[in-house]
Amino acid sequence: MKVPTRSVLLTLVTLLLAGCYEVPVTGRRAMNLVDDKEVTKMSIGMFDDMKRRYKISRDRDRIEQLQRVGNRLSKVVFWDMPDADWEFVVFDVPQINAFAMAGGKVGVFSGLFKIARNDDQLALVIAHEIAHVTAKHVHEKLSRELAVSTVGTVGSLGGMAGGVSGLTVSALSQVYGLTTGISGFAFDRAKEKEADYVGLMYMARAGYDPQEAIRVIEALELESANDPVQPAILSTHPSHPERILQLMDSMPKAMAEREKSAIRTGPTLIK
């Protein structure tokens, strides 16, 4: 076996140090080999493209509700996403879905409002999607794919230090799960659970009632049981009992976070 040269080792060490980040809230260390700015730039372009391709809702109540919830959440996640130029758009699409992208671009399909019945419930769904972004799940997935594709060509890793040349719009849209039209993001279960947990803490910190998280997840599951076509946001998510159990486990912590919240709104009234 060929002994790696000093410079190759140095490159690897530099990459590992530079390519590591800490997931907000959970503190998990994860790998990132892609250029944040490049991902953000491409994501913004993809979001603009979606705004051109899909009908944008004119329902004032829904638009206002999304803005209201989105603004409150964006304040809470400020330090986890300081570069965000927030934009919250309701798409007139009957599908039950929502997504968030790097750069602070959030889309909600009108179908979701059938399920998310109040601000607290909508907050959980949006916070879950934002958590995927602040946790850099897209970056992590891309980094893994790139690391695998560069195995054996250690020399090319040197070129990745200043940004990955292999990062393309098509690779990014695949990771976002947008290649087959609008569908849910295909993250693995561990990442979905992480987004559930981080999202729950975000919504609690924004003063929303964490108990509503369980109600909206239950409603989503019920809908998916009645509907032969799985709502996209559920298709890759952990199964119902697993999600609910994790949310219940995290409830005392979420309630404490809400208690500390400066923008607490008081108990949720029965709607």
Residue positions annotated with a catalytic role? 129
**Closest CB to Zn ion among residues 156, 180:** 180
Distance between CA atoms of 188 and 65, rounded to whole angstroms?
Answer: 30
From residue 194 to residue 233, the character string flagging contacts with Zn ion as x (rule: CB under 5 A) and all else as - is -x--------------------------------------
Question: Residue 225 Cβ, how far from Zn ion at the closest point, in Å?
Answer: 19
C-alpha distances in angstroms, 197 versus 119, 123, 231, 245?
Answer: 18, 13, 20, 11
Q: How far is the CB of 49 from Zn ion (least distance, A)?
A: 22
| Closest to 21 (Cα-Cα) out of 139, 120, 131 | 139
Listing DSSP states for 163-188 in one string gives --TT--HHHHHHHHT-TTSS------
Where do we find the tokens 């491409």? 42
User: Given the complex with Zn ion, which of 49 and 188 has the nearer CB atom?
Assistant: 188
Nearer to Zn ion, 41 or 189 (CB): 189
Tokens at 63, concatenated: 């638009």
Q: In whole angstroms, what is the distance from residue 85 CA to residue 103 CA?
A: 6
Tell me how far, at minimum, the Cβ of 255 lies from Zn ion, in Å.
Answer: 23
Residue 78 CA to residue 102 CA, distance in Å, equals 13
Six-digit token pair at 30? 């994860």
Number of residues that bind Zn ion (CB under 5 A): 2
Closest approach of Zn ion to the CB of residue 269, in Å: 29
Least distance to Zn ion, CB of residue 235, Å? 10
- Output 11 or 224, the one with its CB closest to Zn ion: 224
Binding mask 177-196 toward Zn ion (x if CB under 5 A, else -) reads ---------------x--x-
Strand order through the sheet with 98-101 = 87-91, 105-109, 98-101
Q: Which is nearer to Zn ion, 11 or 97 (CB)?
A: 97
Q: Is 231 left (phi over 0), alpha (psi -120 to 50) or beta?
A: beta
Q: In the complex, which residues of this chain contact Zn ion (CB under 5 A)?
A: 192, 195
